[in-house]
Amino acid sequence: MVVNDYNMKIIITESQYKKYKHLFEQSVYDDEENDSNTDYNNEDTYTKEGTIIEGEIGSEPIKFRYAEENVLDNGEIEYYGEISFKGKKYSGLFATDKRGYLIDVDFPQYFNDEVRLQDELKDTGLYYEFEHWLDSEVIPSVQD
């Protein structure tokens, strides 16, 4: 399967597409609907999708591109997106509890589910710096 993402063609298997399809799908807005002044209290007029948060970990630049969130019944929120770090791309999620505290991270590398960003950062001693970046920069930027 070929996915065209930001003018890049990416060849992936169907199972990989199903697993990460939310990152490849982009919202399309009707211009007339966005220009309408009839719905002043519509909270959906602002979207965070595509928001990029940049930082630095271990003197290396890191970027998180927000895709979507999923609010669970227990109040936890899963934030999905893509991380670029050291020339590699990882697609996954981090989760917060209902108070907004980081509780889980899972970012497998594109096309290689065996390699995970959090594991590579733990191996190099940079994981806590990564957690701090998520807590101080990324989470406040994607929370409502």
| Confidence tier at 7 by pLDDT (50, 70, 90) | low
CA distance 83 to 72: 23
Contacts of 77 (CB under 8 A, 6+ apart): 69, 70, 71, 95, 96, 98
Asked whether the beta carbons of 82 and 114 are under 8 A apart, the reply is no
**Whether the model pTM is above 0.75:** no
Q: Per-residue pLDDT tens for 13-69?
A: 665 566 656 555 544 443 434 444 444 444 443 567 888 999 999 999 999 999 999
Q: Per-residue pLDDT tens for 127-140?
A: 999 999 999 999 99
- Strands 88-96, 102-106: pairing kind: antiparallel
